Amino acid sequence: MDKRLKEISTRLSEYSAGKFDKNILLSPRLDEVDAIINGINMLGEELKAVTISRDYFTNIFNSVSDMVFILNNKGVIADANTSAEAQLQYEAGELIGKPINELHRGTGSFLRSIVRELKKGNGLIAESSVLYSSEGAAIPVSISATYFKEVHQQQPVILLTACDITYQKKAENLVIRAIIDTQETERRRLAKDLHDSLTQQLSAIKFYIASIVKSVKSPREKYILLKSNDALTTVISDMRNICFNLMPKTLEEFGLLQAVKEFCNHFLYQKKANFIIEQTSSLPELSRELAVDLYRVVQEFITNAINHGSANKISIRFSYLNGILKILLEDNGKGFNIHQSGGGMGLQKVQSRIKSHKGALNMISTIGKGTCFKISIPLTKQV
C-alpha cells in the first residue's frame, strides 16, 4: 500500500479532531495521488482559517462588556455572551433557548417592535428598554439590534446588544431632581412675594378707590373709578390663583389630601371633569418634600388627562397599609402608547419625584381606554 494513502488517512483523522497544523508532502511524481494530497492540504488550510476565524469571533463575542444576544427569527436566544450571563445572573449556557421576551417580561411587543423596525430597512435600530435578571432585578438598558447572516444560513438572525445604563439613569435622575428642587424653592419664594407684597398692595389700592367713590360727583369719574375697582378685583383674583398654582397654602397647612381636593375643585377644572377622590385608610403625616412631590404628580396627571387625554372622569384613591402609601390615579381619556411616548420632561419629572423617595410607579395606558398610574411609596423612614 502506498505510504501516501496511509498518510492521507492519518491526516483526515487529525482534521476531524481539529488538528490542522501539518501538511502532506508531495512526491516528485506529481501523479493522481499527489493531486488528492494537494486537495487534502488545501482543505486543511481552509478548515484552519475557519477555525481561527470562529475562535477569533468567539473571543471578541465574550470579551465585549455589553450584553450580546443572537436571536433566531422567532426571538429565541441562540447564543449569549458571558457578559449577558453575568449581568443577568444566569449560569453558562442557561440563556440559550429562552425567548428574549422572557427577559423583557413583555407580551411580545418588545420583539415585534424590533422586527418591525428592521423590516423597514433600518440596518441598525437603537432604543431604551429594561431587561430583568434571573433574580427579578430590573436593569435599564440601551438596546441596539441589526440583522446578521452567515453564508451557510438561509434565514438571517438578529444580533442584539444591550448596554446597562443604570448609572446614566441615576445621573439623569439626579439632574432632574436638582431641577425639581430648584423650581419648588423658586415657586415657594415667588408665591410668598406675590402674596405678601403685590397682592397686599393691590388690595390697598382697591380699598382707597372704594373709599372715595361715594364722594366723587362726576358720573364719568365715578364710572372710571368703579371700572378700575372691578379690574383690580379681577387682578387680585388672578394673583391669588397664580399663588395657588405656585404653592397652595392648603398643602402646607392641611396636608396632601385637602390640597388635592382643592386643586380638583379649582375653577380651571371644576367644569371640565368629574372627580372621584377616595381615602380608604387614614394617612400618616408626610414630610413637606414628599407631600409637595406627590401633589405635583397628581397635578401633572390631572393636567395631562384633561388637556391631552380629553378625559371627563378622573379617579384618585389614597390608601396606607403596612408602611406603604399607595395612590391610584385613573382617567377615561384617550390613552397613549407608553413605549412611543418619548418620555417627555413631565413624565421624567414624575418618575424622578417618585424614585427619589424610593417609590415605584407602574404606568398602564391603552389607546382609547384611558391611563392609570399606580404609585407606591414606603413611609417607614419618610415621616
Q: Report the pLDDT value the prediction gives residue 382, as an integer from 0 to 100.
A: 42
* Range name among 116-125, 210-219, 269-278, 338-347 with the lowest pLDDT average: 338-347
- Asked whether this chain's domains 64-164 and 255-383 adopt the same fold, the reply is no
CATH architecture of 255-383: 2-Layer Sandwich (3.30)
**Cα(252)–Cα(285) distance, rounded to whole angstroms?**
11
* Range name among 25-39, 44-58, 98-112 with the lowest pLDDT average: 44-58
Q: Report the pLDDT value the prediction gives residue 1, as an integer from 0 to 100.
A: 45
315 pLDDT more than 90: yes
Task: Give the start-to-end residue ranges of the domains of the chain.
Answer: 3-61, 64-164, 166-247, 255-383
* Range name among 142-146, 172-176, 256-260, 300-304 with the lowest pLDDT average: 172-176
Q: How many CA atoms lie within 13 A of 268 on its CB side?
A: 13
331 Cβ partners below 8 Å, 6+ apart? 301, 305, 309, 311, 313, 314, 315, 370, 371, 372
Residue 43 CA from chain centroid, whole number = 52
Residue 15 · residue 42 · CB < 8 Å: no
Per-residue pLDDT tens digits for 249-284: 788 888 899 999 988 887 566 677 889 999 988 888
CATH architecture of 64-164: 2-Layer Sandwich (3.30)
Buried b (16+ CB within 10 A) or exposed e, 53-62: eeeeeeeeee
**Cα(375)–Cα(360) distance, rounded to whole angstroms?**
6
Binning pLDDT at 50, 70 and 90, where does residue 107 land? low
Binning pLDDT at 50, 70 and 90, where does residue 375 land? very high
Binning pLDDT at 50, 70 and 90, where does residue 61 land? low
